[in-house]
């Protein structure tokens, strides 16, 4: 368990570095409050982005897509295809604007890689939801809480 959490933290660190690099290059950050009604409470935004979104998105985009690909296709590059297809769908799911699609695609690469890494070792769904929730928590604090202060 400790080794698995260490790996999730490495994926998280990679995700944070890549997200900040993309933000820097685009001179733009994604603020979740912008996508909610301004009257929406921080508690609702927190539950939506840190609890519900990681569960729902991991189920539909990583679990279903990757497992369907693994069950229906064979070949040497199955991991690569599963990661790329899942990431493209993850990116398109976040179609707020072109920057969000690209940024989510890159995050999808990390989440899908995490899922594929844990797929034969342990519970990939749990560790992918955990990674997604931790990243969203980090983004929530940086882009929403600190900007309100």
Give the model confidence (pLDDT) of 71-124 as tens digits.
999 989 999 999 999 999 999 988 877 888 898 999 999 999 999 999 988 899
Contact 82, 64 (CB under 8 A): no
Whole-model pTM: value is 0.84
Can you tell me the distance from the alpha carbon of 106 to that of 135, in angstroms, rounded to the nearest whole number? 13
What would the two tokens of residue 21 be?
Answer: 């690099």
Predicted local distance difference test score (pLDDT) of residue 3: 85
């Amino acid at each position: 368990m400790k080794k698995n959490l260490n790996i999730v933290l490495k994926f998280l660190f990679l995700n944070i570095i890549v997200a900040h690099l993309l933000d820097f290059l685009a001179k733009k950050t994604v603020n979740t409050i912008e996508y909610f009604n301004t009257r929406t409470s921080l508690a609702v935004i927190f539950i939506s982005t840190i609890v519900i979104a990681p569960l729902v998105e991991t189920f539909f985009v990583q679990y279903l897509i990757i497992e369907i690909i693994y069950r229906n296709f064979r070949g040497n590059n199955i991991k690569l295809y599963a990661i790329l297809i899942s990431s493209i769908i993850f990116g398109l799911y976040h179609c707020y604007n072109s920057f969000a699609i690209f940024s989510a695609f890159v995050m999808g690469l990390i989440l899908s890689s995490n899922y594929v890494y844990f797929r034969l070792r342990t519970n990939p769904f749990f560790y992918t939801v955990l990674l997604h929730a931790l990243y969203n928590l980090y983004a929530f604090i940086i882009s929403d809480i600190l900007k309100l202060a």
